[in-house]
Structure 1
Amino acid sequence: MPPSYTEQRQTLVNSLENEYFDLVIIGGGITGAGIALDAETRGLKVALIEQNDFASGTSSKSTKLIHGGLRYLKQFEFGLVREVGRERAILHDLATHLVRPEKMLLPLTKDGSYGKIIASVGLMVYDVLADVEKEDHRRMLSPQETMQLEPLLNVDKIEGGGLYSEYQTDDFRLVIELLKAAQNEGAKVMNYSACQDFIIKAGKIAGVKVHDDILDQEYTLYADYVINAAGPWSDLIRKNQEEVKGKKLHLTKGVHLVVPFQNLPIQQSVYFDVPDGRMMFAIPKKDVTYIGTTDTTFTGDLEDVRTTLEDVHYLLDAVNHYFPTVHLEPKDVISSWAGIRPLIEEEGKSASEISRKDEIFVSEHGLVTIAGGKLTGYRKMAKRAVETILEIRHEQTGKKIPKCKTKKYYLPGNSFKNQKAVKKYKKSLAEENPNTSIADIDYLVDLYGTQCEEILSHAKTSSIIMSEVRFCIEHEWVSHLTDFFIHRTGRLFFDIESVKSNLEVVAEEMSAMLCWSDEQKNAEIEGINREITKATVFE
């Protein structure tokens, strides 16, 4: 008989304890995943640990946009706009199926944040700074053209509009593909493995003590260097080896709501003003529209971040104010997510005013912490973090600093030159799989790219979702129902009914593949039901 899942994990833990690493990374979100790939491709021996599931924190709770940073122009952060804009173009090449073009409408209103001249100049500057391709350059619209594009807007307030280019993604998939790429290069990655403490030798960090949640055992990882990329948990990690003083994290909460598309049938994504002076997104995605986000200081339990009824009213009131015929109510919300942004504390600034720039701290014991930043800028963040380590190593040993190779490192599932190639691929798959719906083909290619062929192959003797389960367990470190339904497929966010209708059969399949006891299986079902409640019940 082949070894069980637990036996395989035990073998991996045993091998980790017997190896010595150049670098251990704490945190399996977008930043940690990016660092793992960057470091491995420069020749470092890397291990990455994550206390929960990969992408379970901030990196699955964003607005799902690889955006060029238009809103940062209001804060005069031109350098940030330039960097994230250029990174957006790079990411579109690296993960073409995952980073998809999206037209964004910026309506201009009499009492809005952007006047006609400021919007026109701002969008022109945005095109230049973000290296937007000519065919995607901004187009300024008359009031009539704006209303024609989006009839749900308040005709009495519209003075015009701007149509510009953005990109939509599935943030959690980007993390998983980065980790798979890093593993393909040789990195050892472990979810459900929490940093308990640091190993200190001669006053310097020499590794980490880890608790494996699945095996319920402790083990140690020895390394020359450790990077703390734990996002909102970064300061808690820092406290294990130093007093956190000077610059520290300012945590803010961002909430998104999902409603049926028919309840908010916008024709394209809209970036619009809300009454308190902030701005918000409304983004259609197949059968739903999602809206967000809030930006409020968070001081609660990081393991229990929730959407409150106050959050719901704030977002719905903003939508109803801007789209007066919609009349959304709390009962229209079918799902939601709430995430925490790890911003760098800046005295005297409100949550929405704090810069999204990343910063790196190096402790006296040698712990390198990177915090702040944005999803779009993850590759540059990773580059800066790895080069901080390599510069320290150069000073200590004289070793050269290898060049970054991730600018042209195509992620798993991507063999596409452009979106036309993606569409052509979808069409060919539909012809080869006549019993699979176009909607399922779209869904699979958008999430898995060319890897979906393995899923479709197994689906010929099973169902799409059962084949997905198998693929995610065998290739993507799925250990729990929540891993599959939330951080691999996003079904809890965008197709919550499919979670409810498939819960029992998926639990049965995972139970067989992972050798769960009946007690474990029941606990797993209770766990995903708690997440459903968390996403749909607001207090």
Structure 2
Amino acid sequence: MNFSNKNRAEKINMMKIEPFDVLIIGGGITGAGIALDAVMRGMKTALIDMQDFAAGTSSRSTKLVHGGLRYLKQFEVKMVAEIGKERAIVYENGPHVTTPEWMLLPLHEGGTFGKYTTSAALHVYDLLAGVKRSERRSMLSVSETMKKEPLVKEAGLKGSGYYVEYRTDDARLTIEVIKKAMEKGALCLNYVKAAEFHYENGRVAGIEAVDQIDGSRFTISAKKVINASGPWADSVRKKDGGENGKHLRLTKGVHIVIDESVFPLQQAIYFDTTDRRMVFAIPRDGKTYIGTTDTFYDRDPIRPDVTAEDRAYLLEAIRFMFPSVNVNESNIESSWSGVRPLIYEEGKDPSEISRKDEIWESETGLLTIAGGKLTGYRKMAETIMERVAKWFKEEHSILFSPSETKHLPISGGDVGGSAKFQAYVQEKIATGMEKGFSKEEAKTLVNKYGSNVDKLFAHKKENSPMPNVLYAQLMYAIEEEMAYTPADFFIRRISALLFDLKTVLDYKEICTDILADHFNWSQAEKEKHIAELEAEIAACS
């Protein structure tokens, strides 16, 4: 069965009749990882999300699979060691959605980091994270630093640290993990909301679900239900009778995007601001994006706002570290805001709250997992599923396999490993050119879709009403990636709303018409989804 909303009715019918071992509420990166771990152990697995997959925090991050260098300052050594090692695993299992990115850490007089403490911290970081020799840190002189990035403030510069992080497309990473779970037998559906829980003998035994597309209600039965709904975790817990014990504290992170003609950054930078916070500036696809802010947030997380104060803060950070760059409000092409579901800690500022994950179990058996970082998603999934496997053994005398995800390529990752990926790219460029794509078009597709690229090449259409690459991506998103609305496609399947707004503006009507034809929308449905996309465009512009 294709991973498509074209056979949605069949998938919902299966959810109605199948008794599942595990049901996961939440289709962000945490829920995706849990679904993959569960199904690989042999558990009959289902996953739902009330929005599109990755529509919450998992499409609104800094888009880095990073090891958390700054957490060494908070003495969270164990967390740095664990997620540092996980960083390499994420890269190895999905090199098409994860790319090594050398990061420059400028050191200035009076700044957060000193030269010798930074050298020591980066050395410890390399050791804790098990960084391979070719990616270990080096310390650069002032002249070496300015050569790497001439825009960096030279006044008071003492040199820099130079180390590797990993850049990703967070939404695509999430989709690829869910697709792998589906390939292995999990049943995953977007636009399905958990309305209330069902109980047997006082224990959670499933949910009453609502199809957010047609409003129909149906029951999903499961022996164990896991709440991995991110910023909505507490509201889901309330449906189970309360939120006893610890609870979440939401913080908001904002990023802005500026064209490279205005901010021609050539090197990714991690720098401290005037208020001694740390901010990233990263070049990507002809743009430079900067983030993130870190403020408490207490409103609906479904579409967190970007305020004038947020934008002003980041523009001031640019002027502070890159004084020759003349930026103002009009230079911001797009922006995004994400909400982090952190574990509440009394008296802590947003930047001080730990990013570690925690698991809670209610009296009814509902498991909730919250906190954590994108980088550690696989280990978080392994941890909670070890607990679930133990429960099945003790309560039902059922034995499941150990975790099998450490060396499992995600969807699109069957390219022979990270070391062979570039050779694979060259091979598939030739294939794409044979199918009628240009060299650059083929390169774009294979770099983004990895070993799934042949399915995109199959969507080459003569006299297409849009560019070849865009049409192939749209058809693949409909047929193989559960995209249902133009917002699903432009935001979470190809990230164009953030980094290529012109393409969205030029082709939104044509793409919407194609989606409407595939899903037989009424005129009212079509207008609804167009309005949704227009609202997203307005929010990010």
Alpha carbons of structure 1 residues 7 and 443: separation in structure 2 relative to 1, 3 Å: closer
Letter in 2 for 1:515: N
Q: Map residues 81-480 of structure 1 onto 2, 5 A cutoff.
A: 81-417=80-416, 419=418, 421-434=420-433, 436-461=437-462, 462=464, 463-480=468-485
Mapped pair 1:514 → 2:519: yes
Cα deviation for residue 446 of structure 1 reads 2.9
1:494 alignment counterpart: 499
Distance 1:144 1:193 in 2: 56
1:48 alignment counterpart: 47
Letter in 1 for 2:500: D
| Number of equivalences | 534
- Provide the secondary structure at the position in 1 that maps to 2:165: strand
Contact 1:96 1:417 in 2 (8 A): no
Stretch deviating more after TM superposition (421-430 or 319-328): 421-430
- Provide the secondary structure at the position in 1 that maps to 2:482: coil
Cα deviation for residue 431 of structure 1 reads 3.7
Q: Map residues 7-18 of structure 1 onto 2, 5 A cutoff.
A: 8-18=7-17
- Provide the secondary structure at the position in 2 that maps to 1:326: coil
Letter in 2 for 1:341: R
Distance 1:38 1:455 in 2: 27
1:27 alignment counterpart: 26
Can you list the C-alpha shifts for 1:476-523, whole angstroms capped at 9, x where unaligned?
A: 111111110111111111111111111111111111111122332222
Contact 1:466 1:509 in 2 (8 A): no
Stretch deviating more after TM superposition (113-122 or 300-309): 300-309
Alpha carbons of structure 1 residues 426 and 398: separation in structure 2 relative to 1, 3 Å: closer
Gapped regions of structure 2 (runs ≥ 5) = none
Contact 1:29 1:175 in 2 (8 A): yes
Letter in 1 for 2:499: F
1:57 alignment counterpart: 56
Can you list the C-alpha shifts for 1:427-453, whole angstroms capped at 9, x where unaligned?
A: 334444446455433432232112122
Mapped pair 1:526 → 2:531: yes
Alpha carbons of structure 1 residues 432 and 392: separation in structure 2 relative to 1, 3 Å: closer
Cα deviation for residue 424 of structure 1 reads 2.8
Distance 1:150 1:172 in 2: 29
Letter in 2 for 1:75: Q
Alpha carbons of structure 1 residues 425 and 157: separation in structure 2 relative to 1, 3 Å: same
Stretch deviating more after TM superposition (185-194 or 396-405): 396-405
Contact 2:257 2:498 in 1 (8 A): yes
Gapped regions of structure 1 (runs ≥ 5) = none
Contact 2:43 2:400 in 1 (8 A): no
Contact 1:93 1:417 in 2 (8 A): no
Distance 1:14 1:56 in 2: 24
Can you list the C-alpha shifts for 1:255-284, whole angstroms capped at 9, x where unaligned?
A: 111110122112211000111110000000
Contact 1:65 1:167 in 2 (8 A): yes
Can you list the C-alpha shifts for 1:64-103, whole angstroms capped at 9, x where unaligned?
A: 1111211111111111110011001111110011111110
Distance 1:109 1:6 in 2: 53
Mapped pair 1:503 → 2:511: no
Stretch deviating more after TM superposition (386-395 or 55-64): 386-395
Cα deviation for residue 387 of structure 1 reads 1.4
Contact 1:6 1:215 in 2 (8 A): no
Alpha carbons of structure 1 residues 63 and 439: separation in structure 2 relative to 1, 3 Å: farther
Cα deviation for residue 237 of structure 1 reads 0.2
Stretch deviating more after TM superposition (8-17 or 334-343): 8-17
Cα deviation for residue 397 of structure 1 reads 2.7
- Provide the secondary structure at the position in 2 that maps to 1:406: coil
Can you list the C-alpha shifts for 1:327-373, whole angstroms capped at 9, x where unaligned?
A: 21111111111010000001111111000000000000000000000
- Provide the secondary structure at the position in 2 that maps to 1:208: strand
Contact 2:56 2:302 in 1 (8 A): no
Cα deviation for residue 419 of structure 1 reads 5.0
Letter in 2 for 1:441: A
Alpha carbons of structure 1 residues 95 and 290: separation in structure 2 relative to 1, 3 Å: same
Cα deviation for residue 6 of structure 1 reads 7.5
Cα deviation for residue 9 of structure 1 reads 1.8
Distance 2:451 2:18 in 1: 34
Identity of aligned residues (%): 44
Letter in 1 for 2:401: P
Distance 2:198 2:364 in 1: 10
Cα deviation for residue 193 of structure 1 reads 0.2
Letter in 2 for 1:513: H
Distance 1:417 1:74 in 2: 37
Cα deviation for residue 111 of structure 1 reads 1.6
Distance 1:385 1:214 in 2: 31
Cα deviation for residue 177 of structure 1 reads 0.9
Distance 2:15 2:196 in 1: 17
Contact 2:425 2:447 in 1 (8 A): no
Cα deviation for residue 245 of structure 1 reads 2.8
Stretch deviating more after TM superposition (45-54 or 425-434): 425-434
